[in-house]
Structure 1
């Protein structure tokens, strides 16, 4: 069954929302305590990374560590990723999205990233040739996402086994120490890829369109 269209115009802006400039950036969704974000920005000073985390406790931990390390190319953001992306990001602005060990939503498969209508909007924010890294320790999650890429999103990807020595996130360290299989999909957006949101400009904190009564 086809995935319904995402209603971007109905998204409320996150609390204390601040707009960003339409310059090329990388974005990590669900950055947790910021281990990957801090590593990535330290190792790649040529990239600007915005690390989005919804849980306040984890965001504060990331913020504190960022203040200690001081990477100028990292911007932690405390927000729900979906409305933040709609209000903040411009079409074809993002060089790389990182979604590392997201909640597998065992009781609500429709909320998995590649099963959501929002994924089409996310693709519209990605540059041609840009990539999405999706990592998980759950083989069924990766298999389902792989099938969605083939059947629904029609996107090229590479599946990789994550090395036992990798230590990008606290979850990754824990899973690998347990001997679990960790895998990732590296998804690439072709130059000629089209979405229904390619011309949709960020709402920049505007009030969303009110839903009409039925």
Structure 2
């Protein structure tokens, strides 16, 4: 998640985004970064927790940081199971300032998202919803391939399907995410202004309190048959 002010000379959707997305989609072979043993064990642990809870419709809170968004999503969707994923043990261990006992329909896992998304596809476990809330924007022009929509794993995110929602305080990030999502899915997706009286992440709360504009895009992709076996 992004906690720093965004400074960038980029003023619109990156001119190379479409070509980069097409190259990743047309590579002719899956993204071949080896999955680490740690990430595979973390993935198996979280999927076992989901199955033990009844394999309810699955929500991914990717890059969940301190986990406040995961707790809020689990409360908002009590008939779903939410997996909060972050690569930082320090962030996952911090105080979330959550009032009362946590909901029971969630688990947290420390893992690399690049591996986690691909392991979901490999296991044919398809989320009902995917949230990418205030990801690191990588705002410099040369950072395009580090943003999720410019990363080689982005086709895997789209292949998992479900409702995909991205929020950021940097409009360009959401505009690019929407453009890449539209390009790969064929479903028109747009960036829109976002405001709420009930912020669900620490950054969302901070940005709203300081008067920052927030942006989001949301697309509902066709559901896929889940393997809950």
TM-score of Structure 1 vs Structure 2, range by shorter chain? 0.7 to 0.9
Q: Distance in 1 between matches of 2:159 and 2:183?
A: 18
User: Following the alignment from structure 1 to structure 2, what is the Cα–Cα distance between the partners of residues 74 and 86?
Assistant: 21
Report the TM-score, using the length of structure 2 for normalisation. 0.72
Whole-angstrom distance in 1 between the partners of 2:176 and 2:33: 29
For the pair 1:160 / 2:185, whether they are aligned, the reply is: no
Alpha-carbon distance in structure 2 between the residues aligned to 1:11 and 1:97: 21
- Structure 1: which 5+ runs fail to align? 202-214
Q: Which residue in the other structure is 1:209 paired with?
A: none
Q: How many residues align?
A: 190
| Structure 1 segments (4+ residues) deviating >6 Å | none
Unaligned runs of 5+ in 2: 1-18
Deviation of 1:119 (Å): 1.3
Q: Does 1:99 align with 2:132?
A: yes
Deviation at 1:155, TM superposition (A): 2.8
TM-score, reference length from structure 1: 0.76
The answer as to 2:218 corresponding to 1:186 is yes
State which of 11, 19, 32 in structure 1 corresponds to 2:65.
Answer: 32
- The equivalent position to 1:125 in structure 2, one of 160, 172, 175, is 160
Secondary structure at the counterpart of residue 73 of structure 2 = helix
Listed as ranges, the matches of 1:1-214 within 5 Å are 1=19, 2-4=22-24, 5=27, 6-8=30-32, 10-15=34-39, 16-19=41-44, 20-21=47-48, 23=55, 24-61=57-94, 69-88=101-120, 90-91=123-124, 93-107=126-140, 108-126=143-161, 130-190=162-222
Following the alignment from structure 1 to structure 2, what is the Cα–Cα distance between the partners of residues 178 and 143? 22
> How far off its partner does 1:74 sit?
0.6
User: Are the aligned partners of 1:155 and 1:190 in contact in 2 as well (CA < 8 Å)?
Assistant: no
Secondary structure of 1:71's aligned partner:
coil
Q: CA RMSD in A?
A: 2.8
Please say if residues 158 and 181 of structure 2, whose CA atoms lie closer than 8 Å, have aligned partners that are also in contact: no
Question: Take 2:128 and 2:43, find their aligned partners in 1: how far apart are those partners?
Answer: 20
- Residues 64-111 of structure 1 show CA distances to partners (whole Å, capped at 9, x for unaligned) of 878x62321111001111112223453352100010000001241111
Structure 1: distance between partners of 2:33 and 2:79:
33
Supply the distance in 1 between the matched residues of 2:191 and 2:180 (Cα, whole angstroms): 13
- Mapped to 1, the partners of 2:129 and 2:215 lie a distance apart of 18
The answer on whether the counterparts of 2:127 and 2:160 sit within 8 Å (CA) in structure 1 is: yes
